[in-house]
Amino acid sequence: MTNSVHTLSVPETLPRTWRLPSLVKLVLRFVRRKPLGAIGGVIVLALLVMAVFADQIAPYPYAASIQGARMKPPSVQFWMGTDNLSRDIWSRVVYGARISVTVGFATVALATLMATAIGVSSAYLGGAYDIVVQRVVDAWMSFPALVVVLSLMAALGPGLPNLILALSILGAASASRVIRGAALSVIANPYVEAARAVGAGHLRIVLRYVLPNVMATIIILATIGLGTVILAESGLSFLGFGIPPPYPSWGAMLSGSGRSFMYYAPWMALFPGGAISLAVFGFNMLGDALRDVLDPRLRGSGRSPALL
């Protein structure tokens, strides 16, 4: 009697693991443990959708005057009413989200880049360079923020690029101090000294060991800074130093027709003001939740259980 052995052929390449269920599980865990952060994330996502698809979402162009629709209250046709120039406020709020998102993300990206370069280089090089840079940062932070940004806007002139540059310069100083502190704690670790001992260059140490370990701090600063930038842009637009008309900005909508006709048509001020408050709330809640999740010092303290 012969025993026959059957062998199963194993494919040379195994199918790639599908990671979507684990991502969904992580998101659901985040929603359960950080409900306010999840609400903030939904608000931020809604703002991004409004900014990208404003042309499809808004029923009217932002500068179009609708015949016979001057200062109409909110209704089925005009969800947020119309202003004194017969323009649909809902459409202008949607297009205003594009301004806020553009200014917010561009400003935070530029400010974070400058702050990271200043903070990491100051912490890594140390010595006289660190002292000089930090004294310049201290002097810059001693000026009132409103005076600094108004002076920059008066010198640069109105416009979207100048507004982004002015707000980036203003926000980079304070963020660089936080990044410098995080970089100093990373540089004090033994593995950085070990990298120096085996002959690793300065650029390799910064890119391989310092930056990845301060990335959580950078992400937290960037997320929380988005709400501050949107509020600053709205304040500058309210004062007349923001985006020039006729393009809509939430702050300009408040300072112009919204303030002038507040008693006769309160919806002209309530809805742009509500949009500003909702956007700042969303970014702040999301940033606070990300801080609790990504900051290793808060893990295991009972305040913010780690998601990973």
| Residue-range domain boundaries for the chain | 35-298
Length of the chain: 308
Q: What share of the chain is helix, strand, coil (3-state, %, to 5)?
A: 70, 0, 30
What does the pLDDT read at residue 21? 66
Distance of CA 184 to the CA centre of its chain: 25
What does the pLDDT read at residue 75? 86
Nearest to 120 by CA among 174, 50, 176, 162: 176
What does the pLDDT read at residue 111? 92
Q: Which amino acid is at 213?
A: N
What does the pLDDT read at residue 303? 46
Residue 16 main-chain phi, psi, to 5 deg: -70, 135
Q: Which CATH number fits domain 35-298: 3.40.50.1000, 3.30.450.20, 3.30.390.10, 1.10.3720.10?
A: 1.10.3720.10
Residue 242 main-chain phi, psi, to 5 deg: -95, -140
Nearest to 243 by CA among 96, 110, 145, 109: 96
**pLDDT (tens place) for every residue of the chain, 308 residues total:** 445 445 545 444 444 544 556 767 777 887 788 888 889 889 999 999 998 898 889 898 888 888 888 888 888 888 888 888 888 899 999 998 888 888 888 999 999 999 999 999 998 888 888 899 889 888 888 888 878 888 888 887 777 888 888 888 888 888 888 899 888 888 888 888 888 888 878 888 888 888 888 888 888 888 888 888 888 888 888 877 777 777 888 888 887 777 778 788 888 888 888 888 898 898 888 888 887 777 655 554 444 443 43
Query: How many angstroms separate the first and last alpha carbons of the chain?
Result: 57
What does the pLDDT read at residue 113? 92
Sign, Cα dihedral of 95, 101, 104, 109:
negative
Q: For residue 3, what is the DSSP state?
A: P
CA distance 224 to 283: 6
